[in-house]
A and B are shown apart, each in its own frame.
Chain A
Amino acid sequence: MVELGHEPAPALRPTASRRAFIGFIIGGATLAVAADLGLAERAGAVVPSGPQIPELYDLGDFQTDSARPTANLIKIVLHEDGTASFDLPRMEVGQGITTSSAMIIAEELDLPLDKVHVGLAPARPELLFNQLTGGSNTTVSTYTPIRVAAAIARKALLDAAAIELGSVVALLKSKEGVITAPSGKSVTYGQLATKAASPTTKAVRIKLGPPSKFSVIGTPRNRIDARAAVTGTKTFAMDMQVPGALPTMVCRPPSLNGSPVAIRNRTLVLAMPGVTDIVMVDTGVAVQAQTFGQCIDAVRMLDVQWKAGSVEGESDATILAKLHKAELPMIVPKVPRLAKQVDTSFTFMFRSSAALEPNCAIADVRSDHATVWAGLKAPIVAQGMIAKALGLPQSAVTVNVITGGGSFGHKLFGDAALESAKISRAMGKPVKLMWHRADEPRQGRTHPMATSRIRATYLGGQVLSFEQRHTSISTDFAHGLGEMITHNIDKLPTGLGGLGFSETIFTLTQELPYNFGVVTQLLNETDQRFNTGSMRQIYSPDVACANELMIDHLAQLMGKDPVAFRLEFLKSSRAKAALRKVASVGQWGRKMPAGMAQGVAIHSEYKGVTAVLVELDCRPATVNRNIPNAVTGPRVTKAVIAVDAGLVINPRGLEAQMMGGVSDGIALALTSSLHLEDGHFLEASWDNYFYTRQWNAPLEFQCIVMPSDSEQPGGAGEAGVAATVAAVAGAYGRATGTMPTRFPINHDTVSFTVKSFIPPVPEPPTDGLSQTY
């Protein structure tokens, strides 16, 4: 990072006009421009309400870094080959933010999209809470700073071109990386890259154009990494070759969060083919070998004495009983005596947030420094935790952020990064750590079990009150807002399970979009013994499912059509427009055969609205359809989703996120859950944990991106899940005549043979050649 020198830092906030901003040209040999990440309006980011406790140990670093005038800068660099590069301080996990960021740069810089290279920045502790990928907040928070930096680059290039071409800026035209003068003479960005550079860093005022002038933003574009993905060259953490980092896996305890006491057959396992090292760490026994296959063999052979886990003897039923005990009472508001009261209660079982790429990381820990490569959505927190575990200063730990094979909230935590660092130190050599699939549902992060109770009163066609009490196993928010200070607030020994933070997040994400008189939505959390986290859309899939089912129920009690009822009570015109759209495109109310039904739901979050209409087939011939080795069940035959996400950068990417949200919602409503029994989760495979498969996918899918006159983008990565869960649940109630109250609907069915807990991973099959096709 280039220092600003002795210039006083100028004011970084927008000045007179909403579109006028200040950014920087960074001193150097080639053109580099920057803008402050703090330029973004922070309205979308959750801010902890807890006190900023000054004695927290990272305060010194905080003050030092905050004092650096260039601390918050994001930087775009122009190269002599005519390309621009930018390191996004966020993590790409499939949600398309590298593509949308490249589009924003291409727009403001007048450069073809394929000449913009967007990488991922390593952990930059000076960014504080501005390096967390979560809450669908990336585009909301980086849109303006990236625009400002790119626009300044274009301005600097035009200034240099005016001299070069003997003209004036006002007469020049920039297009596709070439600047042309009225004389017809032209110069490329590549030729200007050094000429436009400034020897010293200087502040520049820039005015951004209106969205009506956009030619890249708002147009459907393919992902910039698509070709790498389809040719097998896209590099994930486990595809990297770090010298000396051999495959490493961990033999994990038979019960949730158990820990190793002793290895009984170390010599025997060390003598196995390929095995090089065995060490004990707090989470289990780590084995390094020449191949992961040999690690699996060694893990299966290890005889380990284990200490009890955190939830010995507990099961779904005992945990649910604890949740019921923690439920907060309703406070019935004063309503007329004649008002009718209706109560509902819903239960949501544990779910695994694991991605297809399992938890993994590469670590190279030396005596005085450490380097880690991993998919991390909160890399600064991971860096801090690793530094603390190793007894190194945070500055001695380099954390490289690698594009991830999915996250869904799972990669908010640096579980594998931290574990890999501990193992690397214990082995005294680099390690390439990968969790076995079986480890993920059994020991990995989950979406906590929860109940949602609702009481509503109504009279004379009006809903007078709507009270919701959401009770959940504690959600771990220890990643805070991505930096060490909020991280520690959630870890404070308050005995309240991080409730302050959880409640803040609940309050700031939950919004009942209806005019229902007195509305209260309260969260209570209990029991911190589980490994939990913010699975895609956090509380909303459960909360919205409960709400929308209650709304279906109220509509029925009040003799109204579910769509008409919602339109009558919805507050916002955007929500109504989205609902009308899916009702019309999805032909709401069309006649369905017995056993099939439509469901409809809306959800409002991330400055946006989604509406979903589904058709669900619950007829026996469908439910029991025969797909070899598949768990089938009811099928969503059609899904229509309308999304208003404000200003849309890439509608094709937005549609992709909605498609994924619908797939997630179908699984959450119908099929995917973990079963807790005798202190551990039973699931150990993708054929145990029923995420949506091809045979569950809707045969028809349609996404409508609602037109918006907003000048600000909303969040999109998570927005499709909640309304889908609710719509599918509502359709199920209508198709079967019984409102479902526990999710997923097939939770009772344990339709698999439970895999062994000792050894903790299944034997790899050998009959693959008999199953070719």
Chain B
Amino acid sequence: MSQHTFKVNGHPVTVDAEDEVRVLWVLRDILGITGPKYGCGINVCKACTSHINGKAFNPCAVQVKDIAPTDEITTIEGLADTVGGDLHPMQQAWLDHDVAQCGYCQPGQIMAAVAKVKQARKAGHEITDADLDEIRNICRCGTYNRIREAIKAGAAGM
């Protein structure tokens, strides 16, 4: 067991955990941050998608020892704070389009959407259907069309 220090949702945290424990379980089982969901544990379903230093990542596929003290992790719980509002524009778009059904995948979908829009802009364009087709996050309720509409609307507010 060793100590690991990093930032989560703007707050510094120190946890006691084995080096190999994946960050998803540090967040969920040790820190009680349950927004990121388990759907596969092998970086396939993307339900746990969160941000590290502003980029999308999947904590189920990262060992806690690989997180540096300077790293900043943002989960769905901390997304609104990154823009200093009650809701991030992407969350608002999700509400406006009433995207969620069961809601289990939606924290991951929103975190992926924000990163995908930023990624497209870094590449010099707004998000396209081809970009949207690359989003791997599964929604077993099949809300894909509303997700696509919400991402385009959310991007407009970002």
Contacts and interface: CB of A to CB of B under 8 A. Distances in A.
Interface of A: 93-96, 222-223, 225-236, 238-239, 241, 247, 273-274, 290-294, 296-297, 354-358, 403-408, 434, 436-437, 627-630, 652, 656-657, 659-664, 685-687, 691-695, 697-699, 701, 761-762, 764-769, 771-773
By DSSP majority rule, is chain A's interface helix, strand, loop, or mixed? loop
Given A685-B44, A694-B132, A769-B52, A404 B102 contact: yes
Contacts of B141: 94, 406, 660, 663
A93 B100 CA distance: 11
B55 A772 contact: yes
B140 A293 contact: no
A518 to B, nearest CB: 38
Given A223-B98, A229-B106, A656 B39 contact: no
Interface residues of B, number: 78
B30 interface: yes
B138 A691 contact: yes
B36 to A, nearest CB: 8
Interface string B84-115: 00010001001100111111111100100001
Most buried by A among B100, B101, B119, B147: B101
Nearest to B86: A231
B35 to A, nearest CB: 3
Contacts of A225: 100, 103
9 contacts: A230-B99, A230-B110, A231-B35, A293-B29, A357-B37, A697-B144, A698-B145, A768-B23, A771-B57
Contacts of B21: 274, 291, 293-294
Nearest to B134: A627
Contact of B143 (A437, A659, A762, A764): A659
Nearest to A762: B42
B134 A695 contact: yes
Contacts of A358: 38-39
A772 B140 contact: no
Interface in B1-46: 1, 17-18, 20-26, 28-30, 32, 34-45
Contacts of B39: 356-358, 437, 686
B49 to A, nearest CB: 10
A239 B137 contact: no
Given A291-B26, A686-B39, A697-B145, 7 more contacts: A291-B21, A291-B29, A293-B29, A357-B37, A656-B143, A762-B41, A764-B61
Contacts of B34: 232, 235, 238-239
B76 A232 contact: yes
B107 A232 contact: yes
A273 B47 CA distance: 26
A694 B112 CA distance: 12
Contact of A694 (B56, B80, B136, B140): B136
Contacts of A630: 136
A4 B155 CA distance: 57
Contacts of B37: 236, 356-357, 405
A126 to B, nearest CB: 28
Contacts of B36: 232
A291 B38 CA distance: 12
A693 B61 contact: no
A656 B146 contact: yes
A235 B115 CA distance: 25
A234 B44 CA distance: 23
B83 to A, nearest CB: 13
Nearest to A702: B145
A765 to B, nearest CB: 4
B142 A226 contact: no
B76 A95 contact: no
Contacts of A694: 132-137, 144, 147-148
A630 B22 CA distance: 25
Contacts of A664: 142
A608 B129 CA distance: 34
Contacts of A691: 138, 140
Given A293-B21, A694-B132, A659 B145 contact: yes
A393 B57 CA distance: 48
Contact of B144 (A95, A354, A692): A692
A701 B144 CA distance: 10
A241 B32 contact: yes
